[in-house]
């Protein structure tokens, strides 16, 4: 079993739709949770960073963490064609070198 | 956010040659940098953790004699792929950790290596 599971998609939605992206994880030691956006042939860009259960909002993006279920989500409201990219969830254990473990990424396409 | 650069952005080389990739943190000092490899339709895989002034820590299965890492200063880490072969063709991405409350990692734009 992989430490982090993420559906690779692709996920196609019409412009303006609400997008829901999800990851599950198996290691309860993960305490920090991130979402990265990666455009084709580019490095990942940090979108959201959370460290506690609950919701965190930043503009059109909302990150949700449920540690009891080992489940994290990223919601994108009013999706735009420019949101078309691969979204990777990532998480890490506090302390040490803080190695980050990534999901495989979900490819999102927002259709105008 | 902090900026990390990589050079070159892409490189094509012949089998058997060595290739050096540079990773620089432009507006912050990074004691720790990370090197990842990403194959098509696969996730980022950590290859090694690079620490300024000391030896890199390699992940299981990564050949340290093939992937040489040097972190000579607080803003520069280099990855040298020695005696490259076609199976080494991949997208190599570095990240630099900014010391702070969350120790966030900022990623470079990546280097696409093609070995003929």
Q: Using one digit for the tens of pLDDT, what is the confidence trace for B10-37?
A: 999 999 999 999 999 998 888 899 999 9
Q: Express each pLDDT in B77-111 by its tens digit.
A: 999 999 999 999 999 999 998 877 667 788 999 99
B chain contacts of residue A91, beta-carbon cutoff 8 Å: none
Å between B7 CA and nearest CA of chain A: 13
Token output for A112:
């105008």
Task: Say if the Cβ atoms of A46 and B104 lie within 8 Å.
Answer: yes
Lowest mean pLDDT among A6-20, B43-57, B94-108: B94-108
Name which of A3, A4, A44 to mutate to probe chain B: the one with the most chain B Cβ atoms within 10 A of its Cβ.
A44
pLDDT tens string A43-86: 899 899 998 888 999 999 999 999 999 999 999 999 999 999 99
Residue A34, strand partner residues: A49, A90
pLDDT for A93 equals 85
> Which of A41, A98, A103 faces B103 most closely, judged by CB atoms?
A98
Instruction: Quote the pLDDT of residue B76.
Output: 94
Q: Specify whether the CB–CB gap between A63 and A54 falls below 8 A.
A: no
Q: What is the pLDDT of residue B102?
A: 67
Q: Which residue of B has its CA nearest to A43?
A: B109
Is the pLDDT assigned to residue A96 strictly greater than 90? Answer: no
CB contact under 8 A, A97 and B57: yes
A–B CB contacts, 8 A cutoff, strictly below: 47
Q: Is B26 helix (H, G, I), strand (E, B) or coil?
A: coil
CB atoms within 10 A of CB A29: 11
Contacts of A8 in chain B (CB under 8 A): 41
Cβ atoms of residues A20 and A105 within 8 Å: no
Chain B's closest residue to A46, CA to CA, is: B106
Residues on chain A touching B89 (C-beta within 8 angstroms)? none
Cβ–Cβ contact A11 with B under 8 A: no
Q: CB A49 to CB B6 under 8 A?
A: no
Q: Is the pLDDT of residue B51 over 90?
A: no
Nearest Cα residue to A99 out of B89, B78, B43, B103:
B103
Average model confidence (pLDDT) across chain B: 91
Inter-chain CB proximity A102 and B43 less than 8 Å? yes
A83 phi and psi, to 5 degrees? Answer: -80, -10
Contact between A46 and B106 using a beta-carbon 8 Å cutoff:
yes
In this prediction, residues B43-58 reach a mean pLDDT of: 89
Question: pLDDT class for B40, splitting at 50, 70, 90?
Answer: confident
């Amino acid at each position: 079993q992989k430490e982090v599971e993420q559906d690779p998609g692709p996920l196609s939605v019409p412009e303006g739709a609400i997008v829901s992206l999800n990851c599950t994880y198996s290691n309860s030691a993960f305490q920090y949770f991130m979402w990265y956006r990666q455009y084709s042939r580019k490095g990942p860009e940090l979108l959201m960073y959370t460290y506690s259960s609950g919701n965190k909002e930043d503009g059109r993006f909302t990150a949700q963490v449920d540690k009891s279920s080992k489940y994290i989500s990223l919601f994108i409201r009013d999706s735009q064609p420019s949101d078309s990219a691969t979204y990777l969830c990532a998480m890490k254990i506090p302390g040490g070198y803080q190695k980050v473990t990534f999901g495989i990424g979900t490819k999102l396409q927002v259709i105008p | 956010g902090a900026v990390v650069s990589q050079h070159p952005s892409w490189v094509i080389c012949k089998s058997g040659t060595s290739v050096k990739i540079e990773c620089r943190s432009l507006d912050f000092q990074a004691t720790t940098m990370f090197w990842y490899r990403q194959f098509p339709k696969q996730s980022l895989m950590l290859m090694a953790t690079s620490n300024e002034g000391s030896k890199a820590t390699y992940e299981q299965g990564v050949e340290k004699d093939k992937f040489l890492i040097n972190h000579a200063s607080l803003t520069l880490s280099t990855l040298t792929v020695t005696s490259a072969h076609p199976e080494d063709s991949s997208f190599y991405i570095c990240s630099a950790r900014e010391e702070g409350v969350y120790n966030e990692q900022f990623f470079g734009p990546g280097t696409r290596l093609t070995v003929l």
